Amino acid sequence: MSSLQRSAMSARIAKLPQLPPDIERTIAPTVAPFAQDDDDENETDDLGDLPRSMGPPTKIKGREQHKDGQYSPLSAAGYFEQAVEVEVASTGLATRVYYTPSTLSGSNGTVMICHHGAGFSGLSFACFAKEVRTLSNGECGVLALDAREHGKTANLKPSSDFNLSIETLSDDLVELIKVIFPLPSEAPGLLLVGHSMGGSVIVRASTPLLSAKYKMVGVAVLDVVEGFTLEALPHMHNLLDSRPEGFDSPEDAIQWHVTTNTIRNLESARISVPPIISPSMTKGWKWRTPLRLTAPYWTNWFTGLSSAFLASRTARLLVLAGTDRLDKELMIGQMQGKFQMVVVPHVGHIVHEDDPVRLAEILIEFWKRNDRVLKGIKKVGEL
């Protein structure tokens, strides 16, 4: 990269709106906005302000395009304001973050911190983030991240160690938040949102964040229950066996996710699927995260989730895709009024992609109610 390119990139980074004061130094200085990754020859790397178009789909190995462009990839522009790479020295990660800040300054605002499930990426929350911004009139921000070994997050010191334990993942999230919002007293309120594996991560991360004096608006767990999930784990290998080993193109990957009802929202799939695949020398495009290698951690992710959720010292919300998924511990907790539960109809496991509008409505209502409690209700006559 030339010195002129570096200067232009630095100027562009400096214009990113409403980033916390110390985040500029955490953005990787060697990646220019819209530069291509070395391993993704047909994939745009949207660092900085997000581009407005991904352009037409690219031909892969001479294969004909999907003629109407129905399954072509979509840029995250218009869904998030920024895409940045945050270096976290304590975890050894350069974490990819997608961010739309609150229009309210400092501690007056609230940001939903969204953690995806195994095999997905932060862009699975793209459509949801757009709806949150609209429904909250910009007052509630959204920050979604790619976990380690997922999406565009990279190890600063690559090694053969593949560690996706719940302890490591929750520590990654806590340390990332401390880098992005280094002063708890000036940080916005945090509403942690996690899907599946990410639900376990945000529940575990809430305790150290509270201990560090961050203002916690609540935790929202999306379609994961300890008992139900642990019972289903023995079937996971059969589920992975049913997946293709790879795809001829990103369009084919998007089409597979939609036609199999893995993702029931075509718009979301066009944004969220490209980051979870990468070019392969043997099979066009392969899965970016090798889910079979995560098998040793499946039980670790979910064991103790129900008790940890009920013990979390903040407002608690459980969003499910079906009413038959509660385990005994959560049934008792629900009867005791320890958490709010909402069932979203006509969706699959990936609730936030299948119906981002309804989920945004649920989370905005949850945010408004609990943020008001945190800030205190003013007495009659107070300005």
Residue pLDDT, tens place only, 36-77: 343 443 444 444 544 333 333 333 333 444 557 899 999 999
Determine the Cα–Cα distance for residues 119 and 150; give it in Å rounded to an integer. 7
> Residue 383: inside a domain, yes or no?
no
pTM of the model: 0.84
Catalytic residue (choose from 196, 200, 268, 306) = 196
CATH code of the domain containing 188 = 3.40.50.1820
> Residue 97: inside a domain, yes or no?
yes
Active-site annotation holds for 22: no
Residue-number span of the structural domain to which 94 is assigned: 3-375
The pair phi, psi for residue 103, each rounded to 5°, is -75, -15
CA distance readout (Å), 68 to 148, 152, 345 = 35, 29, 31
> Residue 205: inside a domain, yes or no?
yes
Active-site annotation holds for 223: yes
What number is the average pLDDT over the span 264-287? 95
Quick check: helix, strand or coil at residue 192? strand
Number of structural domains (the chain) is 1
> Residue 381: inside a domain, yes or no?
no
DSSP 337: T
pLDDT-based confidence at residue 33 (cuts at 50, 70, 90):
very low
> Residue 382: inside a domain, yes or no?
no
Catalytic residue (choose from 172, 223, 252, 354) = 223
Active-site annotation holds for 196: yes
pLDDT-based confidence at residue 222 (cuts at 50, 70, 90):
very high
CA distance readout (Å), 214 to 116, 207, 336, 367, 374 = 22, 10, 27, 16, 12
> Residue 103: inside a domain, yes or no?
yes
Q: What percent of the chain has pLDDT over 70?
A: 79
Parallel, antiparallel, or unpaired: how do β-strands 340-343 and 316-320 relate? parallel
Name the packing angle between helices 126-135 and 356-375 (round to 10°). Answer: 50
* Tens digits of residue pLDDT in 136-178: 999 999 999 999 999 999 999 877 688 999 999 999 999 999 9
pLDDT-based confidence at residue 32 (cuts at 50, 70, 90):
very low
> Residue 289: inside a domain, yes or no?
yes
